[in-house]
Copies of this chain bind each other. A is one copy, B any other.
Amino acid sequence: LQNINTRQAEARETVFRVVEITEDTVDPEVWGKNFPLQYDSYKRTVDTVRTRYGGSESFQKLDQDPRLRIIWNGYPFAVDFREDRGHAYMLVDQRQTERVKQFNQPGACLNCHASVVDAFRKAALKGGLPADKVHTSEALFEGFKIINKMPYAEATQLVDHPVSCLDCHDPKTMAVRITRPAFINGIRALAESKDPVPHLPSLERWRQGNRATPYDPNTDASRQELRSMVCAQCHVEYHFAKPDKTLTFPWHNGLKVEQIEQHYKEVGWKDWTHKDTGADVLKAQHPEFELWSQGIHARSGVACADCHMPYTRVGAVKVSNHHVRSPMLGVAQACQTCHRYSEEEIKARVAVIQDRTKKLMDSAEDAVVGLIQAIQTAKAAGASDEALARARELQRSSQWRMDFINAENSQGFHAPQEAARILAEAIDLARQGQLEVVKITPRPTSR
């Protein structure tokens, strides 16, 4: 035990607080004075290393896979869509994307691209919230409401940092906390739904309770659940609900791809009307939380932070690695504590899963493009809207499924079989759409 004891002094320093941190400490550098190890790793999210299917190099995905331009035709994503990178870039990347430069976007975009806690509170005060309520969740909900509907150009001036300590931590206890109203609304809707969520025991417990007060992640969720929920404030599918551009997570029927589709149907939502086909279609965005929820890791209580912020030994202490990135860049910490295989073996297993997903993704995109072109031709040949109705419906649902896995960032890893199932349905529906179209278009004379 000698070696353990000798590290004592070193160990104590780690929790000695140099400066006082309060709810008004926005600048991560100040927090870094008390928690230098976490701050050091936090800063390293500027790194830009590439992996087989992920990594942090922000290349243009539309050039890598031109089919996407056809599939998203008429929507901003067809103009600019890049590989995501570290948290350090979230604000600049949003400000600089052509999706913002060439199109009008609301302040709602900022919810997930900046440290907004302080901005929300200030906006609420300006909006008339009594000063003594500034640190309540009411303040956050107020600011949320106000900033969502602002024009992006105006709203973005209210923030200076990417997601920061204050967004994820209670400055007093350093416990992880939930600060995003959109997530609180979303998880409540989920709690009230009937979708079984064995991977979120606290929701199941709440459902069995008297439901007097609505589900509240900050008081009801376990520490391990929070290690995922904190990420689920942003790494989720979303839309801006009318009339106030309210950032909304569509979990009212459950987290599965068809349950979300069902919700969009119920509220009559479409993201845009496809330019070539005239179909009212949906765009999926980063449903990491939703797909992870269907996987074996979630079911086994393995949180986002376990793999993306694994404990890392620094000298005599271990800290959560705040260099949030692809686990493939640090398999030793991210995987090997639980999986006692060589790094090569672990990487090979991931490759098998992701390669399978990629192959299916290609088939799915081909099928969707095939359908789009078929409808386009039929339309040109004069097919009526009535005649095209069914085919357009099939485009909407096939494209939605294909896009769901395409937008999800683990290339199927978070739930391999579920990802394959979803792509299989995408293919089936797109091909059925083509059969619909053939029924109504003049047949190319053959035989």
- Interface of A with B (CB < 8 Å)? 198, 296, 299-300, 341, 345, 348-349, 353, 356, 359-360, 363, 367, 383-384, 387, 412, 416-421, 423-425, 427-428, 431-432, 434-435, 438-440, 443-444, 446-447
Q: A421-B359, A421-B420, A439-B446 are in contact. Are A428 and B367 (CB under 8 A)?
A: yes
Could you say which of B356, B418, B420, B424 contacts A363, with CB atoms under 8 Å apart?
Answer: B424
Q: In whole angstroms, how far apart are the Cα atoms of A432 and B300 in the complex? A: 39
A-B pairs with lowest CB-CB distance, top 10 = A431-B431, A424-B424, A420-B420, A416-B417, A438-B438, A417-B417, A427-B428, A443-B443, A356-B421, A440-B447
Contact, CB under 8 Å: B387 / A447: yes
Q: In whole angstroms, how far apart are the Cα atoms of A438 and B439 in the complex? A: 8
A172 to chain B, nearest CB (A): 35
Specify the chain B residue showing the minimal Cβ separation from A438: B438
Contact, CB under 8 Å: A439 / B444: yes
* Residue numbers in B under 8 Å from A349 (CB-CB): 296, 299
Q: A416-B416, A424-B423, A427-B424 are in contact. Are A447 and B360 (CB under 8 A)?
A: no
Contact, CB under 8 Å: A435 / B431: yes
* Residue numbers in B under 8 Å from A428 (CB-CB): 363, 367, 427-428, 431
Q: In whole angstroms, how far apart are the Cα atoms of A419 and B359 in the complex? A: 14
Q: In whole angstroms, how far apart are the Cα atoms of A360 and B401 in the complex? A: 15
Q: How many copies does the complex hold?
A: 2
* Residue numbers in B under 8 Å from A198 (CB-CB): 345, 348
* Residue numbers in B under 8 Å from A446 (CB-CB): 387, 439-440
Sample 29 A-B pairs with CB under 8 A, ordered by A number: A198-B345, A198-B348, A296-B349, A299-B349, A300-B341, A353-B417, A356-B418, A360-B421, A363-B424, A363-B425, A363-B428, A367-B428, A383-B447, A384-B447, A416-B417, A417-B417, A417-B420, A420-B421, A427-B428, A427-B431, A428-B428, A431-B431, A431-B432, A431-B434, A434-B435, A435-B435, A439-B443, A440-B446, A443-B443
Q: In whole angstroms, how far apart are the Cα atoms of A418 and B359 in the complex? A: 12
| Other A-B pairs, 4, CB within 8 Å; known A363-B425, A428-B431 | A424-B427, A434-B435, A438-B443, A439-B446
Q: In whole angstroms, how far apart are the Cα atoms of A447 and B384 in the complex? A: 8
* Residue numbers in B under 8 Å from A427 (CB-CB): 424, 427-428, 431
Q: In whole angstroms, how far apart are the Cα atoms of A359 and B417 in the complex? A: 12
A401 to chain B, nearest CB (A): 11
Q: In whole angstroms, how far apart are the Cα atoms of A412 and B421 in the complex? A: 12
Q: In whole angstroms, how far apart are the Cα atoms of A359 and B421 in the complex? A: 9
Q: In whole angstroms, how far apart are the Cα atoms of A76 and B111 in the complex? A: 63
Q: In whole angstroms, how far apart are the Cα atoms of A416 and B296 in the complex? A: 11
Q: In whole angstroms, how far apart are the Cα atoms of A386 and B444 in the complex? A: 17
Q: In whole angstroms, how far apart are the Cα atoms of A356 and B423 in the complex? A: 13
* Residue numbers in B under 8 Å from A360 (CB-CB): 421, 424
Which of A359, A431, A435 is most buried by chain B, counting CB atoms within 10 A of its CB?
A: A431
Q: In whole angstroms, how far apart are the Cα atoms of A395 and B418 in the complex? A: 26
* Residue numbers in B under 8 Å from A353 (CB-CB): 417
Q: In whole angstroms, how far apart are the Cα atoms of A360 and B348 in the complex? A: 27
A99 to chain B, nearest CB (A): 31
* Residue numbers in B under 8 Å from A384 (CB-CB): 447
Specify the chain B residue showing the minimal Cβ separation from A431: B431
* Residue numbers in B under 8 Å from A447 (CB-CB): 383-384, 387, 440
